[in-house]
Amino acid sequence: MVWVNDIITGILVGGLYALFACGLSLMFGVMKVVNLAHGDLAVIGGYIAVGVIAVTHIPVLWSFVIVVPLMAVLGYVLQRTVIQAALDRSILTTLLVTFGLSVVIENGLLQFESANSHSLGVDNAIITSSFSIGSQITIAYLLLLIFAVAVVVLTGLQYFLSRSRYGRLIRAVADDQEAAQLSGIDYRHVFGIAAAIAFGTVALAGIAYGMYSQFAPTTGTDTILLFAFAAVVIGGLGSLWGTLLGGVILGVSQAIGAQISGSDEFLAGYIVFLAVLVLRPQGLIARRSAS
């Protein structure tokens, strides 16, 4: 029964991983940018939340109301300036630029915030408690909440992309920028909107991570970015449901690995990641290809 408990926890943590991964997947899917600063942006989201809570004293759970729009604006601005300038040169340049961004963010945080880790302690008695099913299975409300948020965000994003006017433009621009221009669409603006969404979701993931665990300046690259990559690769690039599946599989693999031996937790996740890369490089749910 310990196994069942851990697997359930693994599934729920997978929701958090999917939340990390969806922005990475979106930015690659739309503008072919592999954002190496993605994990650091989650950490920035966490730090901004710490600051916002300290200043405004809003409840931790509601900090996203301020942090997410702030990060979305940052996403739009960064995309329209630094990342677009890199894109205009070549796709490879975006790798260098986002890597540079990652280094700058990490060292900036070390400089101004020290290497100490932070967490976002939730001050809500219900959320911090857990409930039991039978005698062996205990589920934390916080994890359930995070998983629910992930499902809502992914569903909302899927709906937005497939049904809304801007979602349609994002898909059109992802398909063919030049043809989109001929229809009067400024693809750079559409890129900015996609980046705003990606930054917003990763900020939300950063806050959730701060509630669930703790973060330090280097958490972005040594943990979050890797998990996000793994979830995207396992699930299949460009498919949001694949991303959720990838996150869940990663979470469950880690839970099983931890059961085998405490030190194998992350290794197990990466073995699954490698196995998928070798056996099914398009991921478990491949994007419907039409071309």
Partner 1 sequence: MSETRESGSEPLLEVRDLTVHHGQLRALDHISLRVLPGEVYAIIGANGAGKSTLLRTIAGLHRPTEGSIRFDGKDVTRIRPERRAISGIAMVPEGRRLFPSLTVEENLQVGATYARKGPWTIERVYELFTWMKDRRGQQTAQLSGGEQQSVAIGRALVANPRVLLLDELSLGLAPVVVQRIYGMLPQVLATGLTVLLVEQDVSQALRVASHLQCLLEGRTTLEGKPSDVTAEQVEAAYFGLRTAPSDQGSE
Is residue 181 close enough to count as binding partner 1 by CB under 8 A? yes
Sketch the per residue contact string, 187 through 206, with partner 1: x for CB under 8 A, - otherwise: x-------------------
CA 135/CA 276 separation, integer angstroms: 36
CB of 88 to partner 1, least distance (A): 13
Identify which range of 7-15, 80-88, 119-127, 163-171 contacts partner 1 by CB under 8 A: 163-171
Identify which range of 7-15, 48-56, 178-186, 227-235 contacts partner 1 by CB under 8 A: 178-186
Report phi then psi at 206, rounded to 5: -60, -40
Beta-carbon-side half-sphere exposure of residue 10 (alpha carbons within 13 Å): 24
CB of 184 to partner 1, least distance (A): 4
Nearer to partner 1, 183 or 263 (CB): 183
Is residue 90 close enough to count as binding partner 1 by CB under 8 A? no
Among 42, 72, 169, 226, binds partner 1 (CB under 8 A): 169
Is residue 186 close enough to count as binding partner 1 by CB under 8 A? yes
Nearer to partner 1, 134 or 184 (CB): 184
- Count of all residues that appear for the chain in the document: 291
Report phi then psi at 177, rounded to 5: -65, -40
Is residue 24 close enough to count as binding partner 1 by CB under 8 A? no
Is residue 180 close enough to count as binding partner 1 by CB under 8 A? yes
Among 32, 89, 168, 280, binds partner 1 (CB under 8 A): 168
Is residue 175 close enough to count as binding partner 1 by CB under 8 A? yes
CB of 127 to partner 1, least distance (A): 39
Number of C-beta neighbours around residue 260 at 10 A: 11
Is residue 174 close enough to count as binding partner 1 by CB under 8 A? yes
In angstroms, the Cα distances linking 149 to 118, 180, 214, 222, 259 are 22, 33, 19, 24, 27
Here the tokens at position 44 are 């920035």
In angstroms, the Cα distances linking 76 to 33, 184, 287, 291 are 14, 20, 26, 29
CB of 182 to partner 1, least distance (A): 5
CB of 149 to partner 1, least distance (A): 27
Binding site for partner 1 (CB under 8 A): 165, 168-169, 171-172, 174-176, 178-187, 288, 290-291
